[in-house]
Structure 1
Amino acid sequence: MKRTAEIVLTVIGIVLFGLPIILSGILLNTKDNPQVRQELESFMNSPEMQMEGQMNINQIVDAMGSFAMFVLIASLIAIGLGILAIVFLKGDKKPKAAGIILIITAVIFTFATFGMGLFGAAAFLIAGIVALVRKKKSTVEDGGTIDY
């Protein structure tokens, strides 16, 4: 049985999980940019932003870098699991395992990427459900059934 629909949806999900990687890369590049640091300092020193327990600029930049790295790693893991699911779907080897992997990946990595991987997760979820629900076709020949 061909699993073309599931494979195509999984590839779409992999491509869409590439978007958080691109955004994280941009954020990691701007983290070390002195011009961005200067803009952030001027923004934090403005009268509207004066508050108690003011965070240090270095703490903000470090938190931004940690956030970007976490999203980057989470997206790479989701892409790896998507590739594993494609391997399981190729040749109809383990469609149930692929479906479970895709559904669990969709749920976990929607939250792990803080919603940035929502569209990729939606594609994974649809592919996972289709992989679990689709049954093998059987035909009747000479009074018996043959499974393909």
Structure 2
Amino acid sequence: MKRTAEFTLGIIGTIISGLMSLLGMFLIWTASSDEVRAEVEKQVQDDPMMVQEDIDVVLGLFSTGGWAIIIASIIGIIFGIIAIISIKGNKNPKLAGWMYIVGGVLVGIISLGLGFLPALLFIIAGIMCFVRKQPAEPTAY
């Protein structure tokens, strides 16, 4: 039986996980950029409710969120590649199903919801690995 749908969903999810790491790198760069810091400080001066400590908190959240997204994307890439190799040629669909589901859950949780699309694709592919069964061979009487 061909597993083209699971294979395709896994490849698309793995590619999106890789692209997701670019978002994480952008957030880390934003947190360490002097231009961004200057712009945030300008906004703080205009808003009397904000204080200087808020700048450090906001930029720290950008950096932490960036690292969380990068870690989630690496996990998604690793689990996706293992599952793709396992499903290729219908070698081990149960292992691929578990890799897709575990990878999807981890990507969705660790990325704080920003990895929703690859997580959804991985979970759908994992469910398909378990649901689709080998067609029964006709028996001759």
TM tier, shorter chain? Answer: 0.7 to 0.9
How many residues are matched?
Answer: 141
Q: Which amino acid aligns with 1:112?
A: I
Q: For the residues of structure 1 that align with 2:23 and 2:92, how far apart are their CA atoms? A: 33
* TM-score computed with the length of structure 2 as normaliser: 0.88
Q: Between Structure 1 and Structure 2, which shows a larger proportion of strand residues? A: 1
Aligned partner of residue 53 in structure 2, secondary structure: coil
Name the stretch that deviates more: 110-119 or 56-65.
56-65
Unaligned runs of at least 5 residues, structure 1 = 144-148
Q: Percent identity?
A: 35
Q: Which amino acid aligns with 1:42?
A: K
What is aligned with 2:89?
91
Q: Which amino acid aligns with 1:50?
A: M
Give the 5 Å matches for 1:1-16.
Answer: 1-16=1-16
Q: For the residues of structure 1 that align with 2:101 and 2:46, how far apart are their CA atoms? A: 46
Mark the structure with the bigger radius of gyration: 1
Q: For the residues of structure 2 that align with 1:49 and 1:113, how far apart are their CA atoms? A: 30
Q: Between Structure 1 and Structure 2, which shows a larger proportion of helix residues? A: 2
What is aligned with 2:28?
28
Aligned partner of residue 114 in structure 2, secondary structure: coil
Name the stretch that deviates more: 10-19 or 54-63.
54-63
Give the 5 Å matches for 1:1-148.
Answer: 1-50=1-50, 55=53, 57-140=55-138, 142-143=140-141
Q: CA deviation at 1:92?
A: 1.4
Runs of 4+ more than 6 Å apart:
none
